[in-house]
Amino acid sequence: MKVLFVQPPTNPHVWGGDAIFVIEPLWAEYLSAGIKSRHDTRLLDMRLEKAPFEATLREFRPDVLAMTAYTVDVNTIKDLARQAREFDPSIRVVLGGYFANRNADQLLEVGVDVVVPGEGVNTLRELIDTWQDRGRQADLRGISGLAISVDQQVHATPVRAWPSLDSYPFPDRRLSAHIRDRYFDRWMKPVASLMSSYSCPFRCEFCCLWPTTAGKYLSRSPESLLAEIAAIEEDYVWFTDDEAFIDGPRMESLARLLESNGIRKQYFFMTRSDSIRRNPRRFELWARAGLKRVMVGFESIRSQDLITFNKEATVSDNDEAIAILQQNGLDINSNFVLTQDYQPVDFANLQRYVEAKDLSFPLYFILTPFPGTVLYERVKKDIFVHDYDFYDLLHTVLPTAMPLRDFYASFSTLYGAVEPLRRGILDYGEALDKLVVRNVRKVLESMRSTPAAPPLQPLR
């Protein structure tokens, strides 16, 4: 069968767009690796490829269209699914991703054939093989890990257990060979992506990742990672793990293997401040092995926020982590989550903290209740923006204590000190600063026109 993997275009509402990074669609490369021995696969990355969607359908003539989505992409993939069906009603549409894990009913309602909530590599292989061998009318209820429509009702097949990640084939990177040199991070180009672990044992209430595996943390062996890194052609490697150092000894073993095998690349990790604090020596080791940049979810400088988020880390952890990373000459991407009760003094205190700690690359996000998270269940009665196009961590979908215009004016000042445009690639913070100021009225009007939205505070 012919399977077309589509990475949807970036939602135009997302401030900054693709200015800070565009990384390879690892999801599609893993899924392709699982089926390519029997089936013909192709990638259309609509963030980079400008060929019209219908032109690709006409040229490739896929039997199956497979897509994935974050919440902010849901409207886009629904529209692409409709377009595919209008072009050729026989195309079978399969959707997965974080949103699909808890909201399969919202995707099946647009005529999608199958939603895959949870494990995808083995599930898609069995699904495509079944269609290949038994035809379109094959009974799918015996395949674990699916959500399908049966008599106009959502039917969930038995949950598929997550396998060892070492059992997965390496990603099929030939899928993106035609555009690999265009994947970048603001500091690294071209950059390859690598999954060393998946999910997280912590229970941060705003996180949509750990519910995917019911909190089970999955990780690969150092030997498996060494083999994959050695095969990667790019000099820069982005670890896609939300928390790479949950298992510190595993990562220590990997660093030693990279050193002893003479593999010299530059790495970018995401991790927690308490993971850094617990064993500074590991970051000394990784700095020697090629680690250049670390993204840390500090989340807040207010202790009560960290408690409310169920972060299980402290402001003291954050302070110690900053000192450890800076002592090892590592660049820090610091993430902060702004809650809707922020007042001018809170914005000012956060800005002073970032400046005092010499955090050169801060990123600020607005607390967003993604469907399927603990946070969503706690605050869903207060949500007044139900259009998923605005669920990008930069638009608030909850009421703010400050008038919205004042909240956004303060929010935009946090990005004012970020370095300007460089080499034609928009600086994320600079773009956000300009777009917040330029589009605040447009954003407010969009929010106000949302059918489910109550009246906003008067504009002043």
Note the pLDDT tens digit of each residue in 362-406: 989 999 999 989 999 999 999 988 999 989 898 889 999 998 888
Query: Is residue 100 within 8 Å of residue 69, measured between CB atoms?
Result: yes
Query: 128: phi > 0 → left, psi -120 to 50 → alpha, else beta; which?
Result: alpha
Query: Is residue 102 within 8 Å of residue 109, measured between CB atoms?
Result: no
Note the pLDDT tens digit of each residue in 176-208: 999 999 999 888 999 999 999 999 989 999 998
Note the pLDDT tens digit of each residue in 151-176: 888 999 999 999 999 999 999 999 99
Query: Is residue 234 within 8 Å of residue 191, measured between CB atoms?
Result: yes
Q: How many CA atoms lie within 13 A of 183 on its CB side?
A: 21
CA angle, 452 as apex, 449 and 455 as ends, to 5°?
60
Note the pLDDT tens digit of each residue in 283-333: 999 999 999 999 999 999 999 999 999 999 999 999 999 999 999 999 999
DSSP string, 151-188: TTEEEEPPPPPP--GGGSPPP-GGGGTTTGGG-EETTB
Q: pLDDT over 70 for what percent of the chain?
A: 90
- From 127-131, 227-231, 340-344, 442-446, the region with the lowest mean pLDDT: 442-446
For residue 55, give the nearest of 79, 83, 22, 31 by alpha carbon: 83
Task: Record the pTM.
Answer: 0.88
Mean pLDDT (the chain) is: 88
| Torsions phi, psi for 125 (to 5 deg) | -60, -50
